[in-house]
Structure 1
Amino acid sequence: MNVYPPDSSTPLRGDLIVRLVLRTDLTPVPATVELTVRQTEETQKLLTEGAVIRVGSEQVAFTLVKVQHADESGPVGGAHVQGDRLLSTNSATGLLASCEPMARPLGRAVIRERTTLGAIYRACGAQARIDGDFTAPQFSAFVGMTPSFEVAKVLQEEAGALVYDAGRIGFRRLAELRDARASQAVRGEATERLASAFLERQAIPFGISTSPSNAFVTGRRGVARRAAYRPRADVRLLNNLGTALVMSRKLRNALSPEINAGVRIDVDDEPHIVITAAHVLAWEQPGRQETYSLYWLGELST
């Protein structure tokens, strides 16, 4: 997986890269990259906050939002052991460039009614094109607020998520992700169990509202959960508020960069959705490359 420095068509030399993690999530900024490189004059100049690097065969652009040099992080944070050598390293974290403005506090308010999610992104300064776009009834993010948090609320109200795949961003409903064809099937013994029904009930609410006639309106209520009041909400929206992916398992697999967040993986014949996928390439030992993928899997709770 190549890394292209800013304004360069030549990838960074492989011997300079110590660790590379390409991560996708079901979030308003659906892809990030984490890079650790040997400290040289070349990497010191290339890795600066705000710089745009490109990663992978598709040369996906990421804006660096955090850069840590060895002399800034101290002897422990800026050092990396490779074999029996102690190397000085630089580390950087980048957000998907087309969505990066969504993670910055707003300098002006963005208030929209009955507009598409793509239009909301553009109003916040992002340049993302969203496949399968939908119309949000209402969106408001005021000065100083981070718009990605408000977009997450809009996505929850639609019981959906943004899925990043092959350089494209698309909106998918959680039920669609569950009903899609599974990319692979594994046994439960191959995964690490993370679920807690107790914590799930604390985190996922059932919705309550009132109708124009002052009657109570409630969403689905299978088991006892905490209640959340939402004014002027219909049954569809209240049901969506209680629809979420509950992280239940963690799976380590061979490097599979084609499997990203939003893909279905069956565990013991039960559908699970990848909430976070992290593809790792590490050169921890001289001449030895370690590659693997980590998946955090969730089950749909309604």
Structure 2
Amino acid sequence: MLPTDVMLKWVGRSDLTPIPRSLEFTVKLIDGVQEKLKVGASVWGGRENLRYEVVKTDRAQPLGQVQGKSQQQAMKVTALLHRCASVARPLNSAVILSDTTLGAIYRACGAFMPVGSDFAVPRFTCFKGKEPSYQLAQALQEEGAALVLRGGSIMAMRLTDMAKQAPVADIGQVDSSAKIESEFLQLQDVPSYYSVNDMAAIVRGQMGQARRVAFIARADERQLRNASCVLVRSKTVDSTICQQIQAGDVMRVAGENLVVITAAHAFENLEGAQESRSRLWLGSLINAQ
């Protein structure tokens, strides 16, 4: 247990990524804290009290304060969800699978957390020295899905099903959130996809609008259409601490249902007083035409 006078700042993030939870926190280096928080050490935190693996420490310059005979220093610590952290590391040997499931791929890449609501993946390739998290994200995109963490377990959820969920909170009728709106950027950032089949014929996904075009190797029309169905961030909401809201939840903002893409929950000690807050990045489902 780290007492409040040791913990200067703590931020827990929930994301729709192959590693759905991460921690960043800053501690004072007193009482042997530095020896305990080494790279590879395990820490537990957050509302769900999940286990995280320390992947980075960054010791800062002295704070200009003296306690006893020692100058006080702080150290920033970054930690990833323990059971999924391996998918962020370069592979020691290639993982090449066909006619398998996302859960089997996850395990082959070093993660040891079962995947609920699993789905079939026709082929998966990640070469030695590459981080499998990118290829896992691509496999999810081609199925129009994302990973969410619920009750300590990971499940794959279709984006269309995610957007249809009942809202967990209603901000109200007045929309005071930060907002981004640009079809110009969407046409550049959300491409239409094409591929080539076994007969060397062009296979097309959604090609209705004049937007950027990208190639996916050996994909069928269904996968190409799924790849252009994405969550686009449009609003950012700051609120009082709300750790119960996580990535994959739906919130109603001024009558519009939006999906939580990233949720960051923070605690900070400010000269003895603790401040807590949350920031939510929200988006809507866009199906490129």
Q: Which residue of 2 aligns with 1:100?
A: 85
Hey, what's the Cα distance between the residues in 1 that align with 2:141 and 2:76? 33
Question: Which residue type is aligned with residue 222 of structure 2?
Answer: R
Hey, what's the Cα distance between the residues in 1 that align with 2:285 and 2:126? 28
Provide closer, same or farther for how the CA distance between residues 115 and 284 of structure 1 changes in structure 2, counting only shifts above 3 A.
same
Aligned residue-pair number: 281
Q: Does 1:122 align with 2:107?
A: yes
Question: Which residue type is aligned with residue 238 of structure 2?
Answer: R
Contact 2:22 2:79 in 1 (8 A): yes
Mapping 1:155-194, distance limit 5 Å: 155-186=140-171, 187=173, 189-194=175-180
Q: Matched residue of 1:152: which SS?
A: helix
Hey, what's the Cα distance between the residues in 2 that align with 1:80 and 1:252? 32
Q: Does 1:230 align with 2:221?
A: no
Contact 1:255 1:292 in 2 (8 A): yes
Contact 2:117 2:157 in 1 (8 A): yes
Q: Which residue of 2 aligns with 1:36?
A: 26
Hey, what's the Cα distance between the residues in 1 that align with 2:79 and 2:144? 27
Q: Which residue of 2 aligns with 1:59?
A: 49
Q: Which residue of 2 aligns with 1:241?
A: 227
1:207 to 193, 203, 207: 193
Hey, what's the Cα distance between the residues in 1 that align with 2:92 and 2:201? 41
Q: Which residue of 1 aligns with 2:206?
A: 220
User: Deviations along 1:223-276, whole A, 9 cap, x unmatched?
Assistant: 321112334432211111111111111001121111100111122222211110
Q: Which residue of 2 aligns with 1:6?
A: none
Contact 1:108 1:142 in 2 (8 A): yes
Hey, what's the Cα distance between the residues in 1 that align with 2:175 and 2:253? 9
Q: Which residue of 2 aligns with 1:23?
A: 13
Hey, what's the Cα distance between the residues in 1 that align with 2:281 and 2:227? 22
What is the CA RMSD across the aligned residues, in angstroms?
2.0
Hey, what's the Cα distance between the residues in 1 that align with 2:256 and 2:177? 13
Contact 1:34 1:91 in 2 (8 A): yes
Q: Which residue of 2 aligns with 1:7?
A: none
Deviation at 1:197, TM superposition (A): 2.1
Q: Does 1:143 align with 2:128?
A: yes
Hey, what's the Cα distance between the residues in 1 that align with 2:89 and 2:145? 23
Consecutive unaligned residues of structure 1, counting only runs of 5 or more, are 1-10
What is the TM-score normalised by the length of structure 1? 0.87
Q: Matched residue of 2:98: which SS?
A: strand
Q: Matched residue of 1:36: which SS?
A: strand
Q: Which residue of 2 aligns with 1:5?
A: none
Consecutive unaligned residues of structure 2, counting only runs of 5 or more, are 66-70
Q: Matched residue of 1:13: which SS?
A: coil
Hey, what's the Cα distance between the residues in 2 that align with 1:216 and 1:192? 41
Question: Which residue type is aligned with residue 49 of structure 1?
Answer: V
Deviation at 1:220, TM superposition (A): 2.4
Hey, what's the Cα distance between the residues in 1 that align with 2:193 and 2:41? 43
Deviation at 1:294, TM superposition (A): 0.6
Deviation at 1:214, TM superposition (A): 5.8
Contact 1:206 1:225 in 2 (8 A): yes
Hey, what's the Cα distance between the residues in 1 that align with 2:32 and 2:103? 38
Question: Which residue type is aligned with residue 263 of structure 2?
Answer: A
Name which of structure 1's ranges 41-50 and 212-221 shifts more when overlaid on structure 2: 212-221
Identity %: 38
Name which of structure 1's ranges 230-239 and 16-25 shifts more when overlaid on structure 2: 230-239
Q: Matched residue of 1:195: which SS?
A: coil
Deviation at 1:190, TM superposition (A): 2.4
Q: Does 1:265 align with 2:251?
A: yes
Question: Which residue type is aligned with residue 36 of structure 2?
Answer: L
Provide closer, same or farther for how the CA distance between residues 108 and 217 of structure 1 changes in structure 2, counting only shifts above 3 A.
closer
User: Deviations along 1:167-207, whole A, 9 cap, x unmatched?
Assistant: 22110011111000011222463210133322221111112
What is the TM-score normalised by the length of structure 2? 0.91
Contact 1:193 1:249 in 2 (8 A): yes
Provide closer, same or farther for how the CA distance between residues 230 and 41 of structure 1 changes in structure 2, counting only shifts above 3 A.
same
